[in-house]
Structure 1
Amino acid sequence: MGLLSQGSPLNWEETKKYADHIRKHGIIQFLNIYNKVKDRQRDVLKWGDEVEYMLIEMDEANEKVRIVLSGGEVLETLQEQGEKINPNHPTLWRPEYGSYMIEGTPGQPYGGTMSEFNTVEDNMDKRRREASAALKPNETLCTVTAFPRLGCPGFTKPEYRPTPVEAGVSRSLFFPDEAINTHPRFSTLTRNIRHRRGEKVVINVPIFRDQKTPTPFVENFPEDDGEGARAALPDHIYMDAMGFGMGNCCLQVTFQACSIAEARYLYDQLATFCPIVMALSAASPFYRGYVSDIDCRWGVISASVDDRTPEERGLKPLKNDKYRIFKSRYDSIDSYLSSCGEKYNDIDLTIDEDIYKQLLDGGIDKLLAQHIAHLFIRDPLSIFEEKLNLDDENESDHFENLQSTNWQTMRFKPPPPNSDIGWRVEFRPMEVQLTDFENSAYVVFVVLLTRVILSYKLDFLIPLSKVDENMKVAQKRNAVQEDMFYFRKDIFKGCNPGLDGATASAQNGVETDGDSEEYMLMSIDTIINGKEGVFPGLIPILNCYLENMEVDVDTRCTILNYLKLIKKRASGELMTMAKWMREFVSQHPQYQQDSVVTDKINYDLLRKCDRIATGQERCPELFGEPINRFK
């Protein structure tokens, strides 16, 4: 969840006074880091995954499932039994936004050998068993992206009512403040986003129109002071709090590159895959007790932290604010970083011109300077009084304050000061899956992609505007089967990321203003599995790479098992989690074809999810019949 400083948090009015101070020193800290490690080479491949979990209670007597607000106590137990007594413990646990959430990672990063892929699922299994052992008998650990009845009456244990008054942190009509993690960072972010914006956040998700869904679908909110009624759109599910986005779970992967040039190259190449892998991992069709017409959480979480004022959103002329800002601070990337990607930067990029000049004067190249100057158009949202004055030579909290609250599909991560950690990139768009097998499959697939991209010097770049279009399409219902995505046709021309932009373009034999002949609309099946005469397919390319590597039989079997899942999800032979959940609800005897997920339906769905995740029940339509090595 980013920077977790301790101390006395400042309210928005106080925070605003120090915004320029944070920006000024954040840039100094970045320049200090950059100048110390810009020439760093030959860092070895290291990588790791992050899995977010929900704690839920199965109330068999009332056939109801609730989220359990005990994440803090469970986290403390796990840390006391793990890293605090053994620095080499195989798992690490961290807090997340919801007080019903925890985040688990491997205790140490994985390395560059192929055999490491054999340990990913084993480690995820350890995490699940460790955390489950810290729960009460009627509680369970759940890797579901979005709790279907989040925000419905009585959805928490213990039960709390929302606080839709100014004294409340979020003022939500639906989401109680007690469901927010007690660490001051989280409540401060929530309140300051609302105060900076000048109103509550507004999330409107199109409802899935079933046979008996009211037309138009319009809700009444008894405790609303009028703000909700004005913000809610007809035929949409309305939500009004950061928790509806940041209270969802995801799956992320971070890679250490051998150098800054390699990190920038990977950042760009992987950015084109974000919409594809997001659609492949789609797992969140239900919101606030209703069936929606989307399958992914991305737009929900983007709206849930959108702190832009009406002027910044273009609803009013600029008067009090400096910039028209085109996206939420949680969205897709806005610029490529490598020389290969420069000519594809075709979307408007708002930057702080003074910071941009300062970075150029400090020796930063144009592409990286504009990336940082774009991140720094934002205000800091969470400042702790004790952290205002820092040693810029040896600390990076002010830089991380803004870096870690620009939540984009990819994150470019400089090394922390005075550490042996290298330049890293973080792949952020995936939805968490139901089982450790599925989560391992997606992680290994993305890690293998990085190996193939670097080994074969592949080039997947297309205009960034097309990547943005793909991001919108990827969230649609059943996009993995029914929609088309812009994708590069010839990925083997290659691009030397060490060249300047003009030279790279010339050597690739393409025009520097971009050529629409370079890319075309493809199905995800074609992108992943290939189509003769159209595109070779990522799975065949990965298989070719594996055949040329020295891979032991056990590891090869593990990898092929994972790739088979990706292959069959792309072809439609296996369902995405989102499609499987939709079918479960539509076939439930209590479902009334009215787009409502009742307590009983939710209970039966999550009970089945739990049985599948813990190996008590098979689900071949979701992930086939994999060989499970750990049960």
Structure 2
Amino acid sequence: MGLLSQGSPLNWVETKKYADHVRKHGILQFLNIYNKVKDRQKDVLKWGDEVEYMLVELDDKNEKVRLVLNGSEVLETLQGKGEKINPNHPTLWRPEYSSYMIEGTPGQPYGGTMSEFNTVEDNMGKRRREASSVLGENETLCTVTSFPRLGCSGFTKPECKPTPVEKGASKSLFFPDEAINRHPRFSTLTRNIRHRRGEKVVINVPSELLMIWKYFITACVTFQACSISEARYLYDQLATFCPIVMALSAASPFYRGYVSDIDCRWGVISASVDDRTREERGLEPLKNNKFRIHKSRYDSIDSYLSCCGEKYNDIELTKDEEIYKQLLDAGIDKLLAQHIAHLFIRDPLSLFEEKIHLDDANESDHFENLQSTNWQTMRFKPPPPNSDIGWRVEFRPMEVQLTDFENSAYVVFIVLLTRVILSYKLDFLIPLSKVDDNMKVAQKRNAVQEGLFYFRKDIFKAQNGVESDGQHEEYALMSIDTIINGKEGVFQGLIPILNCYLENMEVDVDTRCTILNYLKLIKKRASGELMTMAKWMREFVAKHPQYKQDSVITNKINYDLLQKCDRIAKGEEGCPKLLGDTVKRGSE
């Protein structure tokens, strides 16, 4: 979760008055941080994951599943039993947007040794057991990216009704305000997005009309780099993997009680937080706004940050020219300056009266106000003021998986990939427009099997100092199977590269077996031998005796699906189509 300030929230009219103030001081705060830590070197690798959880009730009597709106109480209990009495507690819990959601992370970041990979699943298991232990009767913890009947009548406990024409934050047709976390940041964000936009957000999922805000469950990984240059290099390289990993982790085919024609939630969230006015969206000439903005503030990145990526920045980048010049004059290089100036074309969406006037030398709330509400596929994160934290990057496109084993596999895969990229000095860069094309393909139904993705052919060229004759020769359309597992004469494959890296590392037998088991899951998902969560859910619904081939997910279908998901997540039932012969460590 992003910045969580406390205080008296301002409405949009009041917030708008201070928008220039926030931008002005946000830039000063960034410059103060940059100048203090720009030359910082030799920070060790630290990394961690964030997993969001839904709180659900399985009503066996009525064969119905509901989302339980008591996240704040559960969170308070977990924090009271954990970090508040033990600063070294192995788990940390944080609030999320919805009142039926909580976010769990490791208590301390993981380090750079290979043995750390052997502790990820154990820690995720601790989180699941810890949170489950404080839930009520018939309640359970669920890691399903999109609750299939969210927005349908009676989907919450207690049952709450939307208020589309009455006073409220969302004025949604389907989503009651009671389902929004009670922290003022969340309702303020929701209300101010609508007020700034000038109309309700509209989400079309292929043919179903939704008007709601962020309600999805996600998983992110954050890495600390050894320096700012390494962070920028990783930011660029990982950006090319965002659509690939999104398609591999596809897990959200159902929306508001209907089967959709997409497998991922990215575009839905993008639309749900799109605060652009009609002018900014290009529907009317610019009159009251400064910029034509091509994307929602929740979307793919718009520019690479490293010098290697500069020639591949081939999409139009809207930036605040005054801020851009200010940054250049202050000694910031062109690529970083345009990145920050692009983030700062946005307005602050949530501002607290007590947080208007700050000490720019020692605080960063105004910078983080805009930084943390640009929800892009990758996030470049400067160190907080006066901290021992280094330059970081956050990988954000993954869809959360059903089991701790799967979530651990995807996390370890990404972390291991960063080690290989840095160790072998690999180059996966392609024109950013092609990454955007890949993002569109990744969200389509069964993209992991049917989609073709632009991908770099020779990832060792930059290392060998070899330049191609033209960009069109550097990349080709490939299947995810080819990208992950390799195809002779086309691409060597990521899994073979990772295996080669592991063979040259000193790794204890137990850790090696764990990693290979994770990579086996990734390999088989890519080849189609194992289903993605999205495909498995589609098949379950299609074969359900109550399904009438009408795209409707009834309460009974939803109950049977979530009940089965719960048993699989707890290790009480196997699922060969989803997990194959891989073994969940918690069930051994």
Question: TM-score under structure 2 normalisation?
Answer: 0.99
Look up the SS of the partner of 1:526 in the other structure: helix
- Please state if 1:238 is matched with 2:209: yes
Contact 1:487 1:521 in 2 (8 A): yes
Aligned ranges 1:323-402 → 2 under 5 Å? 323-402=291-370
Q: Deviations over 1:145-166 (max 9, x none)?
A: 0000000000000000101125
Q: Deviations over 1:2-34 (max 9, x none)?
A: 000000000000000000000000000000000
- Please state if 1:592 is matched with 2:548: yes
Partner in structure 1 of residue 240 of structure 2: 272
Q: Which moved more, 1:160-169 or 1:183-192?
A: 160-169
Q: Deviations over 1:333-365 (max 9, x none)?
A: 000000000000000000000000000011100
Look up the SS of the partner of 1:605 in the other structure: helix
Partner in structure 2 of residue 491 of structure 1: 459
Partner in structure 2 of residue 467 of structure 1: 435
Contact 1:272 1:461 in 2 (8 A): yes
Amino acid at match of 1:379: D
Look up the SS of the partner of 1:29 in the other structure: helix
- Please state if 1:547 is matched with 2:515: no
Amino acid at match of 2:560: D
> What's the CA shift for 1:237?
1.0
Partner in structure 1 of residue 532 of structure 2: 576
Determine which of 547, 568, 588 is the counterpart of 1:612. Answer: 568
Determine which of 245, 262, 265 is the counterpart of 1:294. Answer: 262
Contact 2:52 2:102 in 1 (8 A): yes
Contact 1:612 1:618 in 2 (8 A): yes
Partner in structure 1 of residue 580 of structure 2: 624
Q: Deviations over 1:522-544 (max 9, x none)?
A: 00000000001110000000000
Q: Deviations over 1:565-622 (max 9, x none)?
A: 0000000000000000000000000000000000000000000000000011000110
Contact 1:340 1:495 in 2 (8 A): no
C-alpha distance in 1, partners of 2:471/2:99? 49
C-alpha distance in 2, partners of 1:324/1:628? 49
C-alpha distance in 2, partners of 1:168/1:419? 39
Partner in structure 2 of residue 233 of structure 1: none
Partner in structure 2 of residue 509 of structure 1: 467
Partner in structure 2 of residue 223 of structure 1: none
C-alpha distance in 1, partners of 2:26/2:319? 15
> What's the CA shift for 1:623?
1.0
> What's the CA shift for 1:510?
3.6
Contact 1:283 1:296 in 2 (8 A): yes
Amino acid at match of 2:159: E
Unaligned runs of 5+ in 2: none
- Please state if 1:202 is matched with 2:202: yes
Number of residue pairs aligned between Structure 1 and Structure 2: 587
Partner in structure 1 of residue 179 of structure 2: 179
Look up the SS of the partner of 1:92 in the other structure: strand
- Please state if 1:78 is matched with 2:36: no
Q: Deviations over 1:369-393 (max 9, x none)?
A: 0000000000000000000000000
Determine which of 441, 455, 458 is the counterpart of 2:426. Answer: 458
Deviating above 4 A after TM superposition, structure 1's stretches of 4 or more consecutive aligned residues are: none
Partner in structure 1 of residue 152 of structure 2: 152
> What's the CA shift for 1:137?
1.9
Amino acid at match of 1:115: S
Amino acid at match of 2:303: S
C-alpha distance in 1, partners of 2:294/2:76? 40
> What's the CA shift for 1:72?
0.3
C-alpha distance in 2, partners of 1:241/1:626? 37
> What's the CA shift for 1:323?
0.3
C-alpha distance in 1, partners of 2:224/2:517? 26
Amino acid at match of 2:330: G
- Please state if 1:525 is matched with 2:481: yes
Q: Which moved more, 1:486-495 or 1:342-351?
A: 486-495
C-alpha distance in 2, partners of 1:564/1:172? 43
Partner in structure 2 of residue 216 of structure 1: none
Q: Deviations over 1:25-65 (max 9, x none)?
A: 00000000000000000000000000000000000110000
Question: TM-score under structure 1 normalisation?
Answer: 0.92
C-alpha distance in 2, partners of 1:122/1:72? 25
Look up the SS of the partner of 1:159 in the other structure: coil
C-alpha distance in 2, partners of 1:23/1:484? 40
Contact 2:343 2:370 in 1 (8 A): yes
C-alpha distance in 2, partners of 1:618/1:629? 13
Partner in structure 1 of residue 26 of structure 2: 26
C-alpha distance in 1, partners of 2:131/2:212? 28
C-alpha distance in 1, partners of 2:322/2:354? 28
- Please state if 1:538 is matched with 2:494: yes
C-alpha distance in 2, partners of 1:546/1:435? 25
Amino acid at match of 1:397: D
- Please state if 1:316 is matched with 2:250: no
> What's the CA shift for 1:626?
2.1
Partner in structure 1 of residue 3 of structure 2: 3
C-alpha distance in 2, partners of 1:166/1:363? 51
Contact 1:193 1:307 in 2 (8 A): yes
Partner in structure 1 of residue 228 of structure 2: 260
C-alpha distance in 2, partners of 1:77/1:508? 58
Contact 1:162 1:173 in 2 (8 A): yes
Look up the SS of the partner of 2:586 in the other structure: coil
C-alpha distance in 1, partners of 2:452/2:544? 31
C-alpha distance in 1, partners of 2:310/2:17? 36
Aligned ranges 1:40-51 → 2 under 5 Å? 40-51=40-51
Look up the SS of the partner of 1:431 in the other structure: coil
Contact 2:343 2:374 in 1 (8 A): yes
Partner in structure 1 of residue 523 of structure 2: 567
Amino acid at match of 2:487: K
Determine which of 398, 401, 415 is the counterpart of 1:430. Answer: 398
Q: Deviations over 1:271-326 (max 9, x none)?
A: 00000000000000000000000000000000000000000000000011000000
> What's the CA shift for 1:495?
5.3
Q: Deviations over 1:435-479 (max 9, x none)?
A: 000000000000000000000000000000000000000000000
Amino acid at match of 2:554: T
Unaligned runs of 5+ in 1: 207-235, 497-506
Contact 1:29 1:399 in 2 (8 A): yes
Partner in structure 2 of residue 410 of structure 1: 378
> What's the CA shift for 1:494?
2.6
C-alpha distance in 1, partners of 2:499/2:566? 33
C-alpha distance in 1, partners of 2:7/2:171? 24
RMSD of equivalent CA atoms: 0.8
Look up the SS of the partner of 1:573 in the other structure: coil
Look up the SS of the partner of 2:455 in the other structure: strand
C-alpha distance in 2, partners of 1:629/1:610? 17
